[in-house]
Chain A
Amino acid sequence: MARQEPKKDVVIVGLGWTGAIMGMELAEAGLEIIALERGADRQTVPEMKYPQMIDELSQGERHKLMQRPSQSTITIRRDQSETALPMRKWGSFLLGNGVGGSGVHWNGQSWRPQPVELRLRSYISERWNPSIIPEDMTIDDYPVSYDELEPYFDRFEYVAGISGTAGNLNGEIRAGGNPFEGWRSRDYPMPALPMTYNGAKFTEAARAMGYHPFPRPGGNASTSYVNEYGMQMAACNFCGFCERYGCYQYSKSSPQTTILAALFRKPNFSYRTEAEVLRVEIAPDARSATGVTYFDETTGEEVFQPADIVILAAYQIENVRLMLLSGIGRPYDPTTGEGVTGKNYGYQITGSTSLFFRDEYFNPFVGSGVNGVCIDDFGISAIDFAAEGFIGGAYISSAQTNGQPIRSMPLPEHTPEWGQGWKAAIGAWYGHEMSISHHASVMSYRGHYCDLDPTYKDRHGRPLMRITFDWHPNELRLNAYLREKIEALARAMQPDHMAANYKGFDSRYDVRPYQTTHNTGGSIMSTTPQGGSVNRYLQAWDKHNIFVLGAGAFVQNTQYNPTGLVGGLAYWAAAAIRHQYLRDPRPLV
């Protein structure tokens, strides 16, 4: 018999970005809230303090901040004919763990989607013809528009402390910003960060080719910042340890720097760490949840936490898994296309060109997670899909996030990978390289989905999440197109050497090298209960007191880093709960 805790108004599963946002919003509404976090508690000092935090071997390579594969992992296969195998060391993506979640170890890059990305099927149908959408591509419109979400994007950016240069202020295109972005009601809360030399070179080349370079927006503070809760950030010093690390100097936007200390002062909010939620408990009528059951790591027992509202605020993969384990939404069946939970798993595709300049020095150790200059001239809204033969787009950027010695030693092609020759090449080329990369959309497909693994289980005996995903010819064509554009830019900059890092047309998904932690879908939003797991307010279609936050809601992935949309949707859902749901708990659609 599980221990039972006193009932709360709200239980939040996971205390990362979305859990913290929802916690604050609902605490301000006066509700009694408990958040359950499976990992440890964590603050800037002492857990992220200098210099222990910036140890590349323990953090960068051994993933100290991440979920332990022994705790729980996932199985992966590329198509239904393969047997999925469990990941025993993270590679392609890195799942956060502990208070702050992945909001602790991200780079900070924060974007809004383009308005057309949220109504992609209609956009394609209106501009070209629905027939250009491949038969197995299951893209759709989001059931919420950019205009509806704009105030919530804005709210997230102002809480999270995002630096940037507005390109479209209330419809007016502004020099220096991204002219392809959706309208924003006001400028970023902080000006863009200064750029490093690679950015200046890229800007010059891009301008010469008629493109529209702009500084990448994101959560590395460019000034001291105080947000609406009085939480504070300090100007980033470009130490070059963002992604995979916690920020030791309060400069990176995270739940710790922007929400948590303010939230923890609320007497109606509490949280427990080392509390891994095992399942959502469903009422006998199957139309609502009664709470969640979690494993208390400190006592080694199962605990039932009753609550009137259940917020799933874990990472996309764990949210979808909890839904499948608890019977929230019918599991998706790729053979029939029926069912919803697990549907439209999405990812992103990236590629890059390294440029080596014998006589230029880039000081690569001067970097920040957001640092970089981008162009959106090959974004989704700018490409003629019918003419190019693919659907999707990307932003292209020249970043310089770090010069870390283990993972950031780019060398020209045909350099020996070890020994004397390798050492000589490091001596000759360290610091002489800059790169141009793309960060591209991945559409949703009938065969890309999440379900419960039939074989492998975690330490609690629960099936692992199984992901079925591979590169689709549509994205490989997009990738080839982007490579052409990048290489033209690179050649214009006249480097001494170039090295290409792109997928070929026969590439299959490889889980080993890091790509992006931008896993999406599986608990997608939809206009009807047949289309997805949650409605436009992220409320589970079949159980009205469950709300599922995070990138699982993405109908298809965008071309951008997902956090801006994740944050905006969390505020959007919070407003729906506060202003519509609480006064009359019911299905909102």
Chain B
Amino acid sequence: MTTVLRCLSALIGIATFFILALVWLPIERTPPSEALPADWTPERGAGEYAMRAANCMACHTKEGGSPFAGGRAIKTPLGTIYSANITPDPETGIGNWTLDQFRASLIDGMSADGTHLYPAMPYENYRLLSERDIRALYGFFSKEVEPIKHRVAATDLIFPFNQRWGIRALNWLTLTHDSGFTGRMGNEVLDRGEYLVEGPGHCAACHSPRNFYMGQAAITAKDAEFLVGGHIEGQEAPALRGSKSHIADWSLEELTAFLATGRNFAATANGEMGLVVTHSLQYLSDADIGAMARFLKALDGQPQSPVEIAVQQGPLSRPAPEANAKGEKTARMLTEAGPNMSLGARIFIDNCAQCHFVTGRGAPEIFPALQGNSLVLSEDITALVSIILWGAELEGTDRRPMPLVMQGYENRLSDTEIAELASFIRQAWGNRASALTSDDVRAIREAGLP
């Protein structure tokens, strides 16, 4: 008995020690990964470009708010996090931050006052940022951005994440990789692609799973679960590698087009990915987008095209694809439109076939294919049902200025009809996913717009 008590008090003692250490131990900032001279200045525009590559704007700008003034609500399993004001306003923004403090926020997840940032900030990925990009970003956010006085709402998380030391504990467990980036792919283009994907692009933040501590299970290509799929704000972020991934049968050209414009022969970027395209990827050079696409393809060992990839400019005429072998049966059934069709099929003909076609393959660049569509097939049905109810919009980009809008059917289809429709498209054209019930739809409808 005394032994047990002794062990227990020892454990409590150790835990207390750790917690006290977490709270009181002086913070340490990781030094720069490259020693640049103090008077080093980035190329003109490099700061803004790095900001685009790192997509700071998407999270640090509230809908309808001033750029970078923060306040955007980010829903996480830990609670709602409000993004910070990162304009150079000295009082409510980061105007007083030194370069070292700024760098620490990116690579150590540490605020200027030493407190820890919430992991909605992808510092695990930004930890790979080159010192040059960090310096460029610092220049951009201290000199080029307009200071905006805007105090953002306080973040409210569940215990223990509402304790900043809780986050510190998390970082001890997750922030174990080296800072800075070293190319491993053996050629300059692939290294550049890897850097953009792993570092500023922080693709893994959504497309890799989270581990037990809510950290990213895979940060770089060395990690087994890198880009095998994850979740973001209740939406599935599909796998970007592996033979069953959404993009496995996309050509390099189609992947490039998707990244640069949010649309290609079979898909449009939805939800969060739409924001990534409109706020970030569309501004990257063809060379950088091409490098990212090449790196992603190289992850699966796909052969590399020697040709330079660029987004195709109009005029372009691309016919809608015919039904393929997997989809032929459904296409024939819908074309014949016999009286014994299921309710789901009938609703599809009346409401969906105009754009997505009886082939389920949509129309290149404009209407996404439903066959093999990761959003349609996702285990999490929220996104699919939400889009049927309330529609979806992909904003225009410079190279494809047309906003692509799918209208919602909230007022036209009942819960039962949507359940039938969604079940139909999840099982048509060779799709294999579970059916929905009207209760599933009702729950999502009642929860309201995500």
Contact = CB atoms under 8 A, between A and B. Distances in A.
Q: Tell me if chain B binds chain A.
A: yes
Contact of B407 (A50, A229, A261): A50
Nearest to A189: B315
B401 A249 contact: no
B313 A224 contact: no
Interface of A: 43-46, 49-51, 158, 189-191, 222-235, 237, 239, 248-250, 257, 261-262, 264-265
25 contacts: A43-B405, A45-B406, A223-B317, A223-B319, A223-B320, A224-B363, A224-B365, A225-B314, A226-B313, A226-B316, A228-B314, A230-B314, A230-B397, A231-B314, A231-B402, A232-B365, A232-B400, A234-B355, A235-B363, A237-B353, A239-B354, A249-B354, A261-B396, A261-B403, A264-B401
Contacts of B320: 223-224, 234-235
Given A224-B320, A250-B366, A230 B354 contact: no
A402 B245 CA distance: 43
Contacts of A223: 317-320
B401 A229 contact: yes
Contacts, number: 102
Contacts of B357: 237
Contacts of B400: 226, 230, 232
Given A189-B315, A250-B402, 4 more contacts: A43-B403, A224-B364, A224-B365, A226-B400
A229 B355 contact: no
B399 interface: yes
B160 interface: no
A37 B399 CA distance: 27
Nearest to A257: B402
A250 B405 CA distance: 10
Contacts of A232: 365-366, 400, 402, 404
B45 interface: no
Which of A49, A189, A224 has the most chain B CB within a 10 Å cutoff? A224
A232 B318 CA distance: 11
A158 B400 CA distance: 16
Which of B314, B320, B397, B399 has the most chain A CB within a 10 Å cutoff? B314
B379 interface: no
Interface string B129-162: 0000000000000000000000000000000000
Interface of B: 261, 312-320, 351, 353-355, 357, 363-367, 391, 393, 396-407, 412
A235 B313 CA distance: 19
B317 A225 contact: yes
B319 A230 contact: no
B398 A265 contact: yes
Nearest to A157: B315
A228 B315 contact: yes
A237 B356 CA distance: 10
A226 B314 contact: yes
A44 B314 contact: no
A248 B405 CA distance: 10
Given A226-B400, A250-B366, A49 B314 contact: no
B401 A261 contact: yes
B88 to A, nearest CB: 24
B270 to A, nearest CB: 15
B401 A230 contact: yes
Contacts of B318: 223-225
A44 B366 CA distance: 13
Contact of B354 (A50, A190, A265): A50
Nearest to B263: A232
Nearest to A158: B315
Contacts of A49: 407
A234 B363 contact: yes
Nearest to A227: B314
Nearest to B319: A223
Nearest to B400: A230
Given A45-B391, A224-B320, A249-B355, A230 B313 contact: yes
Given A261-B401, A261-B403, A262-B401, A228 B313 contact: yes
A229 B314 contact: yes
Contacts of B396: 261-262, 265
B315 A224 contact: no
Contacts of A190: 317
Nearest to B318: A224
Contacts of A228: 313-315
Contacts of B316: 224-226
A224 B355 contact: no
A262 B314 CA distance: 13
A531 B190 CA distance: 67
A102 B354 CA distance: 24
Contacts of A233: 366
B366 A224 contact: yes
A244 B351 CA distance: 21
Given A232-B366, A249-B355, A189 B317 contact: yes
A46 B366 contact: no
10 interchain residue pairs of minimum CB distance: A45-B405, A226-B314, A262-B401, A226-B316, A224-B364, A223-B319, A49-B407, A234-B366, A261-B401, A227-B314
Nearest to B406: A45
A237 B354 contact: yes
A228 B396 CA distance: 15
B373 to A, nearest CB: 17
A295 B63 CA distance: 33
B402 A230 contact: yes
A224 B366 CA distance: 7
B402 A261 contact: yes
B392 to A, nearest CB: 10
A226 B315 contact: yes
Contacts of B407: 45-46, 49-50, 248
Contacts of A262: 396, 401-402
A10 B393 CA distance: 33
Contacts of B319: 222-224, 235
A257 B366 CA distance: 12
A44 B396 CA distance: 14
A20 B397 CA distance: 19
Which of B317, B398, B407 has the most chain A CB within a 10 Å cutoff? B317
A462 to B, nearest CB: 37
Contact of A231 (B317, B391, B401, B406): B401
A63 to B, nearest CB: 23
A325 B424 CA distance: 61
Which of B261, B354, B357, B363 has the most chain A CB within a 10 Å cutoff? B363
